[in-house]
Amino acid sequence: MADRIEIGFKKGIRDALGGKIRRRIVEHLGIQVDGVKTIEVYTIADGLSAEELRQAASAPLSDPIIQEFAVNTPLAVSFDWLIEVGFRPGVTDNVGKTAREAIALLLKRRTADMPPVYTSRQYLIEGKIGRNEAETIATSLLANELIEHYKIIDGKIWDRRKGIAPYVPRVAGTDRPHTEEIDLDVDDGTLIGISNERVLALTLAEMKIIRDYLKKRDVLTARKKEGLGGKATDAELECLAQTWSEHCKHKIFSSLINYDDGEGNTRQIDSLFDSYVRRTTTEIRARLGKDDWCLSVFSDNAGIIKFNDEHNLVFKVETHNSPSALDPYGGALTGIVGVNRDPFGTGRGAKLIFNTDIFCFAPPTYAKPLPPRILHPRRIYEGVREGVEHGGNKSGIPTVNGCIVFDERYLGKPLVYCGTGGIMPARINGEPTHTKAILPGDLIVMTGGRIGKDGIHGATFSSEELHEGSPVTAVQIGDPITQKKMTDFLLMARDRGLYRGLTDNGAGGLSSSVGETARLAGGCEIDLKKAPLKYPGLNPWEILISESQERMTLAVDPAKADAFLALAEKMDVEATVLGRYTDSGMFHIRYGKETVVYLSMEFLHGGLPQMQLPARWTPPRYAEPDFPEPENLGQALRDMLSRFNICSKESVVRQYDHEVQGGSVIKPLSGVANDGPSDAAVIRPLLDSFAGVVVANGICPRYGDIDAYHMAACAIDEAVRNAVAVGCPLDRIAGLDNFCWCDPVQSEKNPDGPHKLAQLVRANMALYDVATAYGVPCISGKDSMKNDYQIGGTRISIPPTLLFSVLGRMDDVRKAVTMDAKKAGDLVYVLGMTYPELGASEWYALHGAVGNAVPKVNVNAAWTLYGALHRAIQAGCVASCHDCSDGGLGVALAETAFSGGLGMAIDLKQIPGTGIDRDDTLLFSESQSRFVATVAPEHREQFEKIMDGCVAAQVGTVHAEELLMISGLRGTRILNEDIHTLKAAWQKPLNF
């Protein structure tokens, strides 16, 4: 019999969570309730005495000052409805785990001897609502049925004496783990059926390749020696499916593409990755010659560049879209702690110094009916925000900047980009840290968390669209503290030279981490039976591919194994030797004595033939919108400032710790009231130095509606421009490309695959063109190609989206500038040319139109301007500088003014423009490579001298009077707005 401990607030103590839930019920669900109280419930499997339960409840489970507790009797007295929400079996319960450890310590027991503890939460609702509404509150707000179960109790019929029976979500696993053999010598229909049933996401052609491999005589002979035959084991199929998944293998990026440019020209592209992404980096590095500052690109978990002679920087951005669609909190939490392990597991290991997060959601105000299995965008927004909050804050990594993009087409799958940077000493114990060597004979050690059924099929699941049968096991919850303990330990082990190499366990679990690292040695042999499990009953294949979080795989020199394991034990981190690296050429996995996988490394990694895909570009044409110039441009500007893609994201930003580690220089919020939108982040990773790291992002999916080439070009320009705006030098900016696409492979349900692939081709062309022109090498990247939703006849595809992130280095952070106007009397400059480029702009979107004149990047003009601007910033003659992007000059001017708490008088006639005859076009065109800068009068001469030869014009002045005053092309005052009114319009939409 299990026991229940309930903890609630004493009378008169504010229940902040209850209050927040009540607001959400009223505001999000539109259900009127009077009050919500919360009670925390700990269910302890069994084995504690009544006195022990009381001790545990009084401390550490409750706080004597504000809380009361009850053991095996309910705390709740009266309510209209009670909803209790707990985890389903096997779902990570961090609080339960901590409670178990704390009670064990209190009772002087070993944690292993302590019964499991499970947590749930009661919501006591007061309000005149019926069961249907209580049900809605449970399913639409409180519980995610994929991972949680709930119970609803009607206050009118509740019998307090009976209370609530304890519920123990124990995992019921198989009693006898076993390995199944599957005959692949079957007809095509059966073969593809095997792939579908097991969520392998392998195509018929791929299944046939496996079948044929197993038929080879030498393969068969070798397999027989290991007790296997001509059938594939389930573990082998699962392992191949992970390794060959789009997620891990990037089949589309390495495919052979036949590209038709729509003008009668066709060409073959042998691997987009090699032809554009890698080529960009190779050419730039060749150009840099002996000054090349790239150290490791595309070969490790993250890219590595030189920071200075003593330190290297590491950076990686990943997405966690599919899991976040199903469980926004867990999906985003695992997204952030998962990407943390990438730079952490690069080279010899890096200390993590920043996170940057970019989310793409459908608007939170979405009011149409939701297709099946889709959560409301507001719930996704809140869940993702909170998941990243917990993952980032609890890991002690500052979230230095980011952005949120809104578009209805992200309804089917939100995009959750999480990026993390790290720093590592260039050498440790005399050896370089940016490479890893793994030798045959090295032990394979897994450390960190244990393995459960969570995250099974994550890699294959994200390699297909979200559908009816998408597996719930793919969803998991991260545990940042277990990970923090592990990273604390591993950094110490690194500095003592206790391991040779490391990699993280992410997509594909051990099959991927061991499979990848085994390439460095030439093979491996591991015993899955040795792997520590969260609960018994996992089959070998599940252990092999489980994506349970917070695990790293290490290569440890046998001579150092004892020291490594002893340090792990001391620091309370689990570490287990699973096997060793070999030079056998085989990926050899056992379960005890029984071999369950025996595949050649060559087949595992090289057995997949290149895909061949058609791409056909048909430029879309849209109607040119025809609307008169608005009479009231003040209103227009306020409307623009209130657009979701433009408005303040302060409520999200404040919930992320952006200053931990003590090196914050340019925070995400700037200005007189600490609430203006900074363009890029600057941090000092080494507190005894003024050298800084600059982090910025560019993303503009709307332009892809016209041409993905310009979408990509503008994203790269935006990222670089943001960095330049805060003072980042141009000579050491590294880029990361992160492509999120809708399925570009043609099929019955996806007839326009060739168009989407053509968009991908064009985005890659732009990447090459702009990045090589700017000398910004890509050092790492990622692609996620199946961001579609299909259930029944409903297909929702995301707009093709490239996130370009940059990492820069500043010699002296004291030269950095922020975007807020500084002083009355300063001169306002617009830098860069404005063209009539309103295609896919926010201004057109406000009018329900797309148009055709998409912004284009002029790399030569831009680069000259950026160089001059940087010199001006270095010379100290720029008071403020703000990037001009969504919403154009109108928005940038308003933001500069209200962030500085100052007014401005602007003359549009002075703005350098070409072919523009309307004030609204001039204000809202989204031409690239432009800035609004302010300059103190005493620096005017010097500034103009430095900017000589660039497009730059003084367009007005900063005023103490708190008004934005703009006179138009015809010389009349067209806008006269109180900056506080503008700011209020900008702050309101997402201030919840």
Q: Is 13 in the site for other proteins (CB under 8 A)?
A: yes
Q: Is 58 in the site for other proteins (CB under 8 A)?
A: no
- Which one, 87 or 774, has the nearer CB to other proteins? 87
Q: Is 816 in the site for other proteins (CB under 8 A)?
A: yes
- Give the residue carrying structure tokens 């190609």: 785
DSSP 278: I
Near other proteins by CB under 8 A: residue from 91, 552, 669, 767? 669
- Which one, 210 or 404, has the nearer CB to other proteins? 404
CA distances in angstroms from 358 to 331, 332, 361, 415, listed in the order given: 14, 11, 10, 8
Q: Is 338 in the site for other proteins (CB under 8 A)?
A: no
Near other proteins by CB under 8 A: residue from 98, 136, 864, 874? 98
Near other proteins by CB under 8 A: residue from 418, 599, 817, 922? 817
> Please, are residues 598 and 222 in contact by the beta-carbon 8 Å criterion?
yes
Q: Is 674 in the site for other proteins (CB under 8 A)?
A: yes
**Torsion region of 14: left, alpha or beta (phi above 0 gives left; psi -120 to 50 gives alpha):** beta
Q: Is 484 in the site for other proteins (CB under 8 A)?
A: yes
Q: Is 187 in the site for other proteins (CB under 8 A)?
A: no
3-state secondary structure at position 558: helix
Q: Is 112 in the site for other proteins (CB under 8 A)?
A: no
Distance CA 963, CA 439 (A): 68
Q: Is 867 in the site for other proteins (CB under 8 A)?
A: no
Near other proteins by CB under 8 A: residue from 188, 270, 495, 572? 572
Q: Is 960 in the site for other proteins (CB under 8 A)?
A: no
Q: Is 778 in the site for other proteins (CB under 8 A)?
A: no
Near other proteins by CB under 8 A: residue from 288, 571, 824, 936? 571
The catalytically annotated residue of 28, 149, 178, 247 is 247
Answer yes or no: 247 catalytic.
Answer: yes
Distance CA 82, CA 598 (A): 54
> Please, are residues 890 and 640 in contact by the beta-carbon 8 Å criterion?
yes
Site string for other proteins, 599-638 (x = CB under 8 A): ----------------------------------------
Answer yes or no: 710 catalytic.
Answer: no
Which residues from 679-708 bind other proteins, rule CB under 8 A?
684, 687-688
Cβ neighbours of residue 523 closer than 8 Å, sequence gap 6 or more: 440, 581, 582, 583, 584, 585, 586, 587, 588, 601
Near other proteins by CB under 8 A: residue from 220, 563, 660, 846? 660
- Which one, 485 or 638, has the nearer CB to other proteins? 485
Distance CA 230, CA 743 (A): 34
Q: Is 991 in the site for other proteins (CB under 8 A)?
A: no
Q: Is the dihedral of CA 221, 222, 228, 231 positive or negative?
A: negative
Q: Is 494 in the site for other proteins (CB under 8 A)?
A: no
Q: Is 152 in the site for other proteins (CB under 8 A)?
A: no
Near other proteins by CB under 8 A: residue from 659, 917, 941, 961? 659
Near other proteins by CB under 8 A: residue from 26, 45, 70, 95? 95
- Which one, 68 or 920, has the nearer CB to other proteins? 68
Cβ neighbours of residue 157 closer than 8 Å, sequence gap 6 or more: none
| CA Rg value for the chain | 29
E strand segments, 62-205: 67-71, 81-87, 117-126, 148-154, 181-182
Cβ neighbours of residue 351 closer than 8 Å, sequence gap 6 or more: 422, 423, 424, 491
User: Which helix (H) or strand (E) is 741 found in, with range?
Assistant: none
Near other proteins by CB under 8 A: residue from 170, 178, 467, 570? 570
> Please, are residues 332 and 387 in contact by the beta-carbon 8 Å criterion?
yes
DSSP 747: B
Q: Is 393 in the site for other proteins (CB under 8 A)?
A: yes
Which stretch, 163-171, 475-483, 550-558, 760-768, contacts other proteins (CB under 8 A)? Answer: 475-483
Which stretch, 73-81, 283-291, 477-485, 777-785, contacts other proteins (CB under 8 A)? Answer: 477-485
Q: Is 106 in the site for other proteins (CB under 8 A)?
A: yes
- Give the residue carrying structure tokens 């009479």: 631
Distance CA 200, CA 238 (A): 7
Distance CA 112, CA 118 (A): 15
Near other proteins by CB under 8 A: residue from 246, 389, 550, 977? 389
> Please, are residues 743 and 753 in contact by the beta-carbon 8 Å criterion?
yes
Q: Is 542 in the site for other proteins (CB under 8 A)?
A: no
Cβ neighbours of residue 356 closer than 8 Å, sequence gap 6 or more: 317, 399, 400, 401, 402, 419, 420, 421, 681, 695, 697, 805
Which stretch, 431-439, 485-493, 774-782, 922-930, contacts other proteins (CB under 8 A)? Answer: 485-493
End-to-end Cα separation, the chain, in angstroms: 43
Q: Is 341 in the site for other proteins (CB under 8 A)?
A: no
Q: Is 26 in the site for other proteins (CB under 8 A)?
A: no
Q: Is 218 in the site for other proteins (CB under 8 A)?
A: no
Q: Is 824 in the site for other proteins (CB under 8 A)?
A: no
Site string for other proteins, 548-567 (x = CB under 8 A): --------------------
Which stretch, 315-323, 658-666, 765-773, 837-845, contacts other proteins (CB under 8 A)? Answer: 658-666
3-state secondary structure at position 755: helix
Distance CA 507, CA 513 (A): 9
3-state secondary structure at position 13: coil
In angstroms, give the least distance from the CB of 110 to other proteins. Answer: 13
Total residues binding other proteins (CB under 8 A)? 70
SS3 content of the chain, % helix, strand, coil (to 5): 35, 25, 40
Q: Is 574 in the site for other proteins (CB under 8 A)?
A: no
- Which one, 382 or 926, has the nearer CB to other proteins? 382
Burial of 370 (0-12, 13-18, 19+ CB in 10 A): middle
Q: Is 17 in the site for other proteins (CB under 8 A)?
A: yes
Q: Is 820 in the site for other proteins (CB under 8 A)?
A: yes
Q: Is 66 in the site for other proteins (CB under 8 A)?
A: yes
Q: Is 959 in the site for other proteins (CB under 8 A)?
A: no
Query: In three state form, how does the secondary structure of 934-946 look?
Result: EECHHHHHHHHHH
Distance CA 501, CA 836 (A): 54
User: Which helix (H) or strand (E) is 254 found in, with range?
Assistant: none
The catalytically annotated residue of 250, 320, 434, 959 is 320
Q: Is 59 in the site for other proteins (CB under 8 A)?
A: yes
- Give the residue carrying structure tokens 């051990």: 510
Q: Is 737 in the site for other proteins (CB under 8 A)?
A: no
Q: Is 27 in the site for other proteins (CB under 8 A)?
A: no
Near other proteins by CB under 8 A: residue from 28, 88, 89, 101? 101
Tokens representing residue 78 in the block = 């009266």
Helix H segments across 289-369? 321-326, 328-344
Distance CA 565, CA 857 (A): 54
- Give the residue carrying structure tokens 């960009």: 280
Near other proteins by CB under 8 A: residue from 179, 195, 642, 670? 670
- Give the residue carrying structure tokens 């001059």: 868
Q: Is 54 in the site for other proteins (CB under 8 A)?
A: no
Q: How many CB atoms lie within 10 A of CB 872?
A: 27
In angstroms, give the least distance from the CB of 811 to other proteins. Answer: 14
Which residues from 196-215 bind other proteins, rule CB under 8 A?
none
Which residues from 876-905 bind other proteins, rule CB under 8 A?
880, 900
Q: Known catalytic residues?
A: 247, 320
Residues that bind other proteins (CB under 8 A): 13-14, 16-17, 19-20, 59-66, 94-95, 97-99, 101-102, 105-106, 108, 389, 393-396, 479-481, 484-485, 488, 492, 570-572, 653-665, 667, 669-672, 674, 684, 687-688, 813-814, 816-818, 820, 822, 880, 900
